[in-house]
Structure 1
Amino acid sequence: MNPSTNCTTSAIEQVLNVENLTTSFRVDGAWKPVVRNVSFSVAPGETVAIVGESGSGKSVTSLSIMRLLSPDMSRIDGRISLNGRELLSLPEHEMRKVRGNEISMIFQEPMTSLNPLFTIGDQISEALLCHSDMSVKEARAETIRLLEKVRIPSAASRFDEYPHRFSGGMRQRVMIAMALASKPKLLIADEPTTALDVTIQGQILDLIKMLQEEEGTSVLFITHDMGVVAEIADRTVVMLRGEQVETGATADIFHRGKHPYTRALLSAVPVLGSMQAHDRPVRFPITDSTTGVVSQPIETPDTVSGTKPLLEVKGLTKRFDIHAGLFGRLTGRVHAIENVSFDLYRGETLSLVGESGCGKSTTGRAIMRLIEPDAGTVLVEGRDVLSLDKHNMREMRKSVQMIFQDPFASLNPRMTVGQAIAEPYLEHKMGTAKQAKDVVADMLVRVGLSPDMANRYPHEFSGGQRQRICIARALALQPKVIVADESVSALDVSIKAQVINLMLDLQQSLNLSFLFISHDMAVVERVSHRVAVMYLGEIVEIGPRASVFGNPQHEYTKKLMAAVPIPNPDVRREKRGSPVDELRSPIREPDYQPVQRNYRTVSDGHFVAV
């Protein structure tokens, strides 16, 4: 069956058919609709993507299909049929037989979906024992077969391990094995790759494609990443504020999308290789989701200045001891960062890029002395940060500020955003309470918010607005360097573009220097002057952005770039051929002595480890 013709087939031929789905929640005693009149279908063996930003109603739609919403606080209207069988009218005990058997679901965060008190083998076996007549022995054998199918190395020996012993990518594989245990007709994947590094994301997408081909499973894939949509979806449903604004074949949506919001989503997707004609960072083009007017991508002015680095890092090393046994014997060390060296100039953005566990966030925290490094030097304007006492360290932090990945966790929920922004200003005695109020208003305006928002609390803002507030708080101390640790990774694609544009504007107006920590190669290419690639705690390649992306030398750099989804369905890659191995462990024996790295010069300022 040609997926592009599925919309013309009758409802009974569809695996899933959704008609005029409306989901409402009880708010202050009244029913408030959050998803309105959504209709689509999924054919046998087809992948349909539901795409939109946070709050668009994607996940509520999937939870409505599974009937996982609280019946006391929610109401579902319309029709949802699976192979012609109406689901909304089923008694709950019948619906329990459908869940995990005919329809399975993979959630965004596998660690919250897996029970930490049970082994992963027991949790997968449970699904088999609930929905089949298997014995415990047969369920164990089938579970090991499923773990091998989703490429878990040494599956038999890992049956009895607990979730915390697995990496994020491996935990997501376990969730896929659990979802596929009963050979469901429909697999709902709710943002299954959003929290994963780009290489692990590529492996999970390949895995879903492979299993779909082998089992003939239909997939409803929910995401905000248009690159992933181009890679995997046959048809696409675009949602905005609870409504379906456009539906069609994925190629048509990408090339001939009619709704302004669809075009806004597509224009905000960073495309790897699009910066070849530019020497400096370039602002994202922003499409107005109402009018469809697209702003032009603007190359930022040259802000890099000075012959002496503003921040100098030399030989930075941090290891974490591992103790085990009754007497806490030293059994090993985590070599988190090993002999890391780089310079950062005034007005420059240097990006540290790599997968989770490579040491990039530890590097940022060690520079800030949020953790104490074991060796090395950190100089800010020639001043040795690591030798400063507590008082002088507080003074130094006025010059170097940090923005964290999760803005909600970074803000005190009991403080208004005005108090949160003013707090460091007042703590450092930079002015009076009245002056702080003026600073708060100025900072909010600088990050694109209004001064009257100062009296609101963090929960009253969206994720993108909260990240702007964190940027405003960092700017209140007038820093020279900002360490941005995965500061846009958790944001929707269009919000991410707006926040990055804001950071580039602030760099231009305030001559800021950014140490930009990320695993997103396409974003790194857009914002960087120079790039340093980290692997197992070491910098394996560093150089000007154009040189590193135009002529990557290290195998790990090439692997990161090859894993980036291409937001074009016409050049969809059937299989990346990525190895399924996770990032190798940085744990070493207590007496391990690391090899001293030598670097080969590729071109001016471009070095690669050999």
Structure 2
Amino acid sequence: MSEPIIRVENLEVSFFGQGTSQRVVHGVSFDIAPRETLALVGESGSGKSVTALAMMRLLPRETARITGRVSLAGRDLLAMSEAAMRGVRGNEIAMIFQEPMSSLNPALTVGDQISEVLVQHRAMSFREARAETLRLLDKARIAAAARRFREYPHQLSGGMRQRVMIAIALACRPKLLIADEPTTALDVTIQAQILALIEALREEEDLAVLFITHDMGVVAEIADRTAVMANGRVVEAGETAALFRAPREPYTRALLAAVPRLGSMRGTRLPARFPLVDPRTGKTDGTGEPVASPPAAETPLLRVRDLSARFDMASGFFGRVTGRVHAAENVSFDLFAGETLALVGESGCGKSTTGRAIMRLTEAASGKVELEGRDVLALKRAELRFLRERVQMIFQDPFASLDPRMRIGAAIAEPMLVHGLASREDARKKVAELLPRVGLDPAMAARYPHEFSGGQRQRICIARALALAPKLIVADEAVSALDVSIKAQVINLMLDLQQDFGLAFLFISHDMAVVERIAHRVAVMYLGEIVEIGPRAAIFENPQHPCTRRLLAAVPIPDPARKGLRRVIDETEVKNPIRPVDHVPPLRQWRTVSPGHEVQVFGKEWHDRPGAA
């Protein structure tokens, strides 16, 4: 084995504040060789990102103390002066972060931002920097590089912005690339593209890669070796294949058990709980047993017909409407009591807009939405109480959904008080009943949102949604931002609540492996339209539309044995949903594949795409 590019020995990090000291990283050691990827995995708060920031000397000197040794080509980075360290950052070690929009300057074009790095670090002229920037954009697999050079970050998709970050990271030809959750915020197809790009660049540039993630499927796909962190310590490390095949530590087994595996539900009809492993004992909690079938009903709880939502695009001095975003177009489906319908698709396909239009949080342009036979879109503002009491929504970011100045008991009680369904004393008793239902102690009602973990905050949002005893819950990417084990716990909770209360869920997601576990039926969206809909087993075992196959093909498989198999990754970007003002949507034809399974007849534009039949 070649000499390591980076060697971390007994790294420790402590934070000081208010007269106390807390150690958050305890004796972490590892090394990474050229063309090798080490995955640093663990749940939020395990110390992964702090370890990477300590290596880069990016922690605040006033409040952080770092000890140990970080060796790069024989030099101890922790002993360097700040001036010398500035020469290392970017030139020899580069870092890409989870959210590219927070790392890019919105006031500068992407070309200028890459060129700035080249001018500052490699002393290039502007003309040389421009030529090198175009080469880097090509290297990052960004099509039409000359046009992208002049565009601003907000004009790019999330996947393209992350490619720009990779181009910036590669600008000075570093020896080590630290990727801190670079795909967590991306949908599954864009994630597959970014992973394939990092893998290719590692070989082309002789890079060493430190890949920080909590997604074990991504680990299996990209990592040569894996180090598992918990509570600031590396609890297990080794070759990725061996670690997946025979994990020694209960915590590692718990992480692996919670990973949703695409295909694990093959041959079954009903959703099933995740079999969870206790990270302290290694014992399994449950066997992933299926949940009960929803009660048969002749009429749907929710009926959506030809629902469309559009947003005007104005330009010019007088703000004249020059185009419209067709966010949802002629969307139709039924949802029955006790059933979960998953609405899936790539970012920008119209999933969330559809959910918000049903909730009247976004006004629909046309169509019909009936809840218990009553037309929701025809309700006057004073009549919306009918809708709010029967339909509740759970959002992706629970922290943004909760008032940071309000105790969580008051936040859960507020809907009951606003709707006049309970006195303050009755609402307090109801809160004490709801918190145990979502796995929280009633005494926690007096705490504020910042005192809870992400998973606990999402449970609070679920409790608040249940306060009005709704018939339907719209869950908009409700588990996308959660760690893998917390995600499994929340999904099990949702399945239990569905059984106990007969809830219907409209589950909006891009995570096909999770959808396979939780859904009774699945509707696939593309460019605002449903292109395929049917029972979950039919969609996953017999996908018909190329868009459905594209989503399924992009799911990372948590099996290191498949690491050497090169998947065909569809690099095509989702088309722009902006249409001219006078655009008339074409009539669509549908084909019945099997009972309840229908697919939109697709045209020649799909036949040349990877994965198209």
The counterpart of 1:57, out of the listed 47, 72, 88, is 47
User: Could you report, residue by residue, the CA deviation over 1:141-194 in whole angstroms, capped at 9, with x for unpaired residues?
Assistant: 000110011111111122121111111000000000000011100000000000
1:573 CA displacement: 5.0
Give secondary structure in 2 for the equivalent of 1:70.
Answer: coil
The counterpart of 1:192, out of the listed 170, 182, 186, is 182
Matched residues in 2 for 1:35 and 1:305: separation? 53
Give secondary structure in 1 for the equivalent of 2:95.
Answer: strand
The counterpart of 1:353, out of the listed 344, 354, 361, is 344
User: Could you report, residue by residue, the CA deviation over 1:563-607 in whole angstroms, capped at 9, with x for unpaired residues?
Assistant: 000000001255323232221110011111111111100000000
Q: Which residue of 2 aligns with 1:267?
A: 257
Q: Which residue of 1 aligns with 2:496?
A: 505
Give secondary structure in 2 for the equivalent of 1:44.
Answer: coil
Give structure 1 regions of 4+ aligned residues with deviation exceeding 6 angstroms.
none
User: 598-607 or 384-393: which moved more?
Assistant: 384-393
Q: Which residue of 2 aligns with 1:38?
A: 28
1:134 CA displacement: 1.5
User: Could you report, residue by residue, the CA deviation over 1:365-405 in whole angstroms, capped at 9, with x for unpaired residues?
Assistant: 00000011010111111011111112221122111110001
Matched residues in 2 for 1:130 and 1:250: separation? 38
Check if 1:332 corresponds to 2:329: no
Give secondary structure in 2 for the equivalent of 1:442.
Answer: helix
The 5-angstrom pairing of residues 111-122 of structure 1 reads 111-122=101-112
Amino acid aligned to 1:382:
G
The 5-angstrom pairing of residues 72-87 of structure 1 reads 72-87=62-77
User: Could you report, residue by residue, the CA deviation over 1:202-259 in whole angstroms, capped at 9, with x for unpaired residues?
Assistant: 0000000111111110000000000000000000000001111000000011011100
The counterpart of 1:496, out of the listed 474, 477, 487, is 487
User: Any gaps of 5 or more consecutive residues in structure 2?
Assistant: 602-613
The 5-angstrom pairing of residues 69-218 of structure 1 reads 69-218=59-208
Q: Which residue of 1 aligns with 2:278?
A: 288
Amino acid aligned to 2:51:
T
Matched residues in 2 for 1:189 and 1:133: separation? 26
Give secondary structure in 1 for the equivalent of 2:262.
Answer: coil
Is the Cα contact below 8 Å between 1:305 and 1:347 reproduced in 2? no
Amino acid aligned to 2:122:
S
Matched residues in 2 for 1:230 and 1:547: separation? 27
Matched residues in 1 for 2:299 and 2:19: separation? 64
Check if 1:221 corresponds to 2:211: yes
1:305 CA displacement: 2.7
1:99 CA displacement: 0.1
Matched residues in 2 for 1:605 and 1:224: separation? 36
Give secondary structure in 1 for the equivalent of 2:277.
Answer: coil
Question: In structure 2, do the counterparts of structure 1 residues 176 and 304 end up closer, same or farther at CA, with 3 Å as the change threshold?
Answer: farther
User: 386-395 or 191-200: which moved more?
Assistant: 386-395
Q: Which residue of 2 aligns with 1:21?
A: 11
Is the Cα contact below 8 Å between 1:202 and 1:576 reproduced in 2? no
The counterpart of 2:238, out of the listed 234, 243, 248, is 248
User: 554-563 or 297-306: which moved more?
Assistant: 297-306
Question: In structure 2, do the counterparts of structure 1 residues 304 and 176 end up closer, same or farther at CA, with 3 Å as the change threshold?
Answer: farther
Matched residues in 1 for 2:573 and 2:28: separation? 39
Q: Which residue of 2 aligns with 1:366?
A: 357
User: Could you report, residue by residue, the CA deviation over 1:258-278 in whole angstroms, capped at 9, with x for unpaired residues?
Assistant: 000000000000011110132
Amino acid aligned to 2:452:
F
Matched residues in 2 for 1:573 and 1:488: separation? 30
Matched residues in 2 for 1:579 and 1:288: separation? 38
Count matched residues.
600
User: Could you report, residue by residue, the CA deviation over 1:330-358 in whole angstroms, capped at 9, with x for unpaired residues?
Assistant: 11110000000000001000000001100
Amino acid aligned to 1:264:
A
User: 568-577 or 304-313: which moved more?
Assistant: 568-577
Give secondary structure in 2 for the equivalent of 1:509.
Answer: helix
User: Could you report, residue by residue, the CA deviation over 1:73-104 in whole angstroms, capped at 9, with x for unpaired residues?
Assistant: 10100000111111000000000000000000
Check if 1:606 corresponds to 2:601: no
Matched residues in 1 for 2:278 and 2:295: separation? 31
Q: Which residue of 1 aligns with 2:399?
A: 408
Matched residues in 2 for 1:28 and 1:289: separation? 32
User: Any gaps of 5 or more consecutive residues in structure 1?
Assistant: 2-8
Is the Cα contact below 8 Å between 2:550 and 2:570 reproduced in 1? no
Check if 1:429 corresponds to 2:396: no
TM-score, normalised to structure 2, is: 0.97
Q: Which residue of 2 aligns with 1:443?
A: 434
Check if 1:343 corresponds to 2:338: no
Matched residues in 2 for 1:125 and 1:21: separation? 34
Amino acid aligned to 2:208:
S
Is the Cα contact below 8 Å between 2:495 and 2:518 reproduced in 1? yes
The counterpart of 2:314, out of the listed 311, 323, 334, is 323
Give secondary structure in 1 for the equivalent of 2:31.
Answer: strand
1:198 CA displacement: 0.3
